[in-house]
C-alpha cells in the first residue's frame, strides 16, 4: 500500500533523449506502439506538464505532482504499465491523501479513427484509489476502482520524450463511502467522474510513440 501526502517537488534524473519518431495523420490511425531505443528495463522518469484534475461528482480533486514508477517494457511494445503516486493534492477544497491499493495504469497504443485517443486502464487485483479529504468541519472518502481513462500521446522534441495528455472523454465511476460536515458529495456510486492533465514521460535511451496507419490509409 502506498500513501501520498503533500510533498515538495523532487528533482528528476537527467536522461538521454532519442530522435523524434515520425508519425502520420491521426485521423487514419488505429494502432501504434511505444518505442524505447534503450530497450526494456530502463527506469521511467516523469514530470507534470499540466495540473492533474479529477472531477468527482461535480467537485474537483487537484494534484500538482503525479509520479509514475515503472520501466520500459521493450524496444517496441503495444502497452506500457506504471504505478501512479499522487501528491500536493486538494480535494473539494480540503487537504487530501490518496491511498493506492494495488492499482496500476496500463497505457495502450491503440488509437481511435477520429481523434487518435487511446485508453489508460486503471487496473489490478482488488485495485482501489482511496481519496480522503478532511478538516475539523467534515470528511469525504471517495474510491476509484478499475476503469478506463481517455488519453492522447504526443511526442516531444525538446526535451525529447513522450507526453500523456488525459482528456475528459468517456464515462468514469466513483464511489463515495463517507460524507460528513462540509463534504459536498453524497454517499453512493456516481458515473460522472472525469480526468484531465498532462505528464511528460522519459527514459534512459528515450521513449516515443509510433503511430501505425490503418489499412488503405495514404
0.75 exceeded by the pTM?
Answer: yes
The answer to whether 98 and 64 are in contact (CB under 8 A) is: no
Which residues are within 8 A (CB) of 194 and not within 5 positions of it... i.e. 6 or more apart? 54, 55, 168, 170, 172
Q: Which residues does residue 48 pair with via DSSP β-bridges, in sequence order? A: 199
Across all residues in the chain, what is the average pLDDT? 79
Q: Which residues does residue 106 pair with via DSSP β-bridges, in sequence order? A: 81, 121
At 182, which helix (H) or strand (E)? none
Q: Which residues does residue 196 pair with via DSSP β-bridges, in sequence order? A: 53
Q: What is the DSSP letter of 71?
A: B
Strands 94-101 and 128-135: antiparallel
What's residue 179's pLDDT?
A: 94
Using the predicted structure, report yes or no on whether residue 81 has a pLDDT greater than 90. yes
Which of the four pLDDT bands, split at 50, 70 and 90, describes residue 205? Answer: confident
What's residue 206's pLDDT?
A: 87
Q: How far apart are CA 198 and CA 182, in angstroms?
A: 30
What's residue 214's pLDDT?
A: 52
Residues 105-111, mean pLDDT to the nearest whole number: 87
Residue range 126-172, pLDDT digits in tens:
999 999 998 899 999 999 999 999 898 888 876 668 999 998 776 78
Q: How far apart are CA 44 and CA 40, in angstroms?
A: 11
Look at the block and give the residue holding cell 507534470.
Answer: 48
Strands 2-4 and 94-101: antiparallel
C-alpha cell at 38: 534503450
Using the predicted structure, report yes or no on whether residue 2 has a pLDDT greater than 50. no
What's residue 69's pLDDT?
A: 95
Residue range 174-202, pLDDT digits in tens:
999 999 998 888 999 998 888 899 999 99
Amino acid at each position: 500500500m502506498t500513501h501520498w501526502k503533500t510533498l515538495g517537488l523532487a528533482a528528476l534524473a537527467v536522461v538521454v533523449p532519442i530522435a523524434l519518431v515520425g508519425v502520420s495523420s491521426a485521423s487514419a490511425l488505429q494502432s501504434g506502439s511505444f518505442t524505447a531505443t534503450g530497450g526494456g528495463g530502463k527506469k521511467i522518469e516523469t514530470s507534470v506538464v499540466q495540473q492533474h484534475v479529477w472531477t468527482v461528482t461535480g467537485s474537483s480533486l487537484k494534484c500538482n505532482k503525479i509520479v509514475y514508477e515503472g520501466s520500459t517494457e521493450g524496444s517496441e511494445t503495444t502497452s506500457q504499465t506504471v504505478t501512479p503516486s499522487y501528491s500536493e493534492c486538494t480535494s473539494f477544497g480540503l487537504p487530501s491523501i490518496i491511498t493506492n491499493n494495488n492499482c496500476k495504469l496500463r497505457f495502450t497504443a491503440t488509437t481511435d479513427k477520429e481523434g487518435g485517443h487511446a485508453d489508460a486502464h486503471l487496473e489490478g487485483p482488488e485495485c482501489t484509489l482511496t481519496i480522503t479529504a478532511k478538516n475539523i468541519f467534515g470528511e469525504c472518502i471517495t474510491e476509484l476502482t478499475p476503469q478506463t481513462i481517455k488519453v492522447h500521446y504526443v511526442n516531444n522534441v525538446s526535451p525529447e520524450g513522450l507526453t500523456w495528455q488525459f482528456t475528459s472523454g468517456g464515462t468514469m465511476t466513483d464511489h463515495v463511502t463517507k460524507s460528513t460536515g462540509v463534504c459536498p458529495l453524497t454517499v453512493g456510486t456516481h458515473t460522472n467522474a472525469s480526468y484531465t492533465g498532462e505528464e511528460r514521460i522519459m527514459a534512459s535511451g528515450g521513449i516515443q510513440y509510433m503511430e501505425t496507419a490503418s489499412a488503405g490509409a495514404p
